[in-house]
Amino acid sequence: MNEKALELIAVTGPTASGKTRRAVALSRHLGAAEIISGDSRQVYRGMTIGTGKDLEEYGEVPTHLIDIRPAGHKYNLHEYLRDFNAATEDIRARGKMPVLCGGSGMYVEAALNGLRLPEVPRNETLRQKLAGKSLQELAEILRQGKSLHNRTDIDTIARAVRAIEIMEYYREHPEEASGAVIGEARRPSALIIGVSIDREARRERITERLHSRLDEGMVDEVRGLLDSGVAAEDLIYYGLEYKFVTLYLTGELEYDEMVRQLEIAIHQFAKRQMTWFRGMEKRGHKIHWLPYDLPEEDFNASVDALIAQNFANTPKYSKYS
């Protein structure tokens, strides 16, 4: 049993598993909890339908890191960790329990690792030196170095250049880089709940949800973002719904082909999420998987039992007091 007091509850899982509903119900059950989003796209204002914010689901439960940046901004892991840590400290200072909810694996795992990344400025001299290099050449530079930055999502030249920039900064400032080293002592005392859903049910829910969002006006939402001045390439950068709907609106895809490709991409994304969660478990994070269709009362009771079993100093939040 963990001798430390419980500091954080995380509710995660693949897309369409219903984790938001579970996190909200659990927060109400605890009685003194606030939700912190662990979604890389829900930070953007005006991107509501496509990111599945489901704002009405939260009701009276306070939320953090939703609608905090304008669409078109390139939010990153450094910003997320800074905002996550500030939100966590604020919630706990008011005697409440932070409930991290989301499926962006890199963000969720970094938060659970207690990672703190330093602010890395642009290095114009280095950028000029790297100008003109191919993505393959940049990737080789990264392989030769020992970057502390997470490079999982580097799939463009711009991201590769930024990763090299960070790697070089850490090399030159080892005292600041120490905060980016992952270690057991840095991890908050957390209970991680995974919402488990079988492949077929997940596929059905993804398809149903996609068509529901289209009916709700997702195309109009993206059209409105474009009309407001958000660049098409910025929306494409966000991927999935915003990428494919933008390609449709700019005439690169027919409507039916857009829907077909988007549905395939969301299924592929869900598979990548599960791969990430399995990787998290291999990297030492214990995820307690609970069925997506478990009755709410049983789900919350299971969390109660896990808290009692795994944390010696159970916090005095509402029902536990």
Q: Which residues are within 8 A (CB) of 171 and not within 5 positions of it... i.e. 6 or more apart?
A: 145, 177
Q: How many residues does the chain have?
A: 321
Which DSSP string corresponds to 140-208? Answer: HHHHHS---S--TT--SHHHHHHHHHHHHHHHH-HHHHGGG---GGGS--EEEEEEE--HHHHHHHHHH
Residue (of 257, 251, 255, 250) closest to 227 by Cα position: 250
Tens of pLDDT, residues 18-31: 999 999 999 999 99
- Cα angle 288-299-194, degrees, rounded to a multiple of 5: 30
Read off the tokens for 193: 């709940």
Give the global pTM.
Answer: 0.86
Residue 167 has what pLDDT?
Answer: 87
For residue 148, name the pLDDT band (cuts at 50, 70, 90): very low
Q: Which of 92-96, 128-132, 170-174, 226-230 has the lowest mean pLDDT?
A: 170-174
Residue (of 224, 195, 200, 209) closest to 47 by Cα position: 224
* Cβ-contact 170, 147 below 8 angstroms: yes
CATH 3.40.50.300, domain 2-117+189-320, yes or no = yes
Residue 3 has what pLDDT?
Answer: 65
Read off the tokens for 130: 């790297």
Read off the tokens for 270: 């869900």
Find residue 101's DSSP bridge partners: 11, 37
